[in-house]
Amino acid sequence: MNPGVDDTGVPVPVPERVGRVVSIVPSLTETVAVTAPGLLAGATDWCTHTAGLDVPRIRGTKNPDVERIVELRPDVVLGNTEENRPADVAALRAAGVPVWMTEIRTVDEALASLRRVLEEACRVPVPGWLDEASRAWSDVAPDGRRAAVVPVWRRPWMVVGRDTFTGDVLSRLGVSNVYAGHAERYPKVPLDELNAAGADLVVLPDEPYRFTADDGPESFPGLDVALVDGRYLTWYGPSLVDAPGVLSRQLAAARRY
């Protein structure tokens, strides 16, 4: 067995043949489900793609059922440093379960990390959709730039800050995050400060908080608001293929409510 090294620099003893994969991140679940569905042996309750996914559930990304995961006898567990808690990862490794951690904060990192997840952690060939995603993002040519605030929660209001995958996605599409220089990655910011931050656009995704036309836009009078699909904005996986086109259309449809 030749252990690979995950995104955090940790050697992971993945067997030469992988037959059982548990994913504790929805986007990684979709990645495996589209590429090699027979490998999935478990996923979180939040793993909604692909449609009709029928595998054992192991609770959520922040509270996985470690005992249940061990019982499923995975050859490897797929996680992410932003989505999963270090204590749960340590508990799985202490139980002898190989855990491959991803760390993704840009589109380029996503494309490279997913390639390694599939080739080295899952032992499957690189799928065509991943090359298609690379081409889709290399062809992006935004027309002008806008300055935006990007809330991800309300009560309290939280926004996208520095060094995030979401921020990089938007930047590539011509949208600059007003809080990209903030000391925190997801700062809590009072609503009056958000409205006075100098943005001309508010980007409201439908996850993790489900912003809708009736819940969120009314808080930003005088600003254009774009309601966007959170899966295309925050997930890294097969959704990367269509994300540039879908998000570009949704951003272009921004209006005042």
How would you label 195-212 residue by residue, b for 16+ Cβ within 10 Å and e otherwise?
bebebebbbbbebebebe
Q: How far is the C-alpha of 73 from the C-alpha of 22, rounded, in Å?
A: 9
CA distances from residue 91 to 56, 59, 88, 129, 166 in whole angstroms, order as listed: 20, 16, 5, 34, 29
Give me the chain's average pLDDT, please: 96
Dihedral, 200, 204, 209, 214 alpha carbons, nearest 10: 100
Q: Is the pLDDT of residue 204 over 70?
A: yes
From 126, 161, 190, the end of a domain falls on 126
Same-domain check for residues 114 and 168 = no
Residue 235 banded pLDDT, cuts 50, 70, 90: very high
Structural tokens at position 226 = 């774009």
Asked if residue 237 belongs to a domain, the reply is yes
From 126, 155, 173, the end of a domain falls on 126
Residues 4 and 121 sit within 8 Å (Cβ to Cβ):
yes
Same-domain check for residues 183 and 77 = no
Question: Residue 200 sits in a domain of what CATH number?
Answer: 3.40.50.1980
Asked if residue 136 belongs to a domain, the reply is no
The mean pLDDT value for 20-33 works out to 98
The count of other CB atoms within 10 Å of the CB of residue 79 is: 27
The total of structural domains in the chain comes to 2
pLDDT in the model for residue 141: 83
Same-domain check for residues 115 and 178 = no
Same-domain check for residues 80 and 172 = no
pLDDT in the model for residue 142: 83
Asked if residue 134 belongs to a domain, the reply is no
Judged on CB neighbours under 10 Å (0-12, 13-18, 19+), 189 is buried
pLDDT digits (tens, 9 = 90+) for 80-108: 999 999 999 999 999 999 999 999 999 99
Residue 2 banded pLDDT, cuts 50, 70, 90: low
Closest to 26 (Cα-Cα) out of 5, 42, 9: 42
Residue 144 banded pLDDT, cuts 50, 70, 90: confident
Same-domain check for residues 115 and 181 = no
Asked if residue 34 belongs to a domain, the reply is yes
Same-domain check for residues 121 and 16 = yes
Q: Is the pLDDT of residue 41 over 90?
A: yes
Same-domain check for residues 189 and 105 = no
Coil, helix or strand at residue 166: helix
Structural tokens at position 215 = 């819940």
Q: How far is the C-alpha of 225 from the C-alpha of 202, rounded, in Å?
A: 5
In terms of residue numbers, what domain contains 200?
142-252
pLDDT digits (tens, 9 = 90+) for 31-40: 999 999 999 9
Asked if residue 137 belongs to a domain, the reply is no
The mean pLDDT value for 143-168 works out to 95
Same-domain check for residues 107 and 149 = no
pLDDT in the model for residue 21: 98
Same-domain check for residues 237 and 179 = yes
In the block, tokens 């809080």 appear at 179
Asked if residue 218 belongs to a domain, the reply is yes
Asked if residue 164 belongs to a domain, the reply is yes
Judged on CB neighbours under 10 Å (0-12, 13-18, 19+), 86 is exposed
Q: Is the pLDDT of residue 143 over 80?
A: no
pTM of the model: 0.94
From 126, 158, 189, the end of a domain falls on 126
Same-domain check for residues 226 and 189 = yes
Residue 67 banded pLDDT, cuts 50, 70, 90: very high
Same-domain check for residues 122 and 24 = yes
Same-domain check for residues 180 and 226 = yes
Asked if residue 133 belongs to a domain, the reply is no
Residue 1 banded pLDDT, cuts 50, 70, 90: low
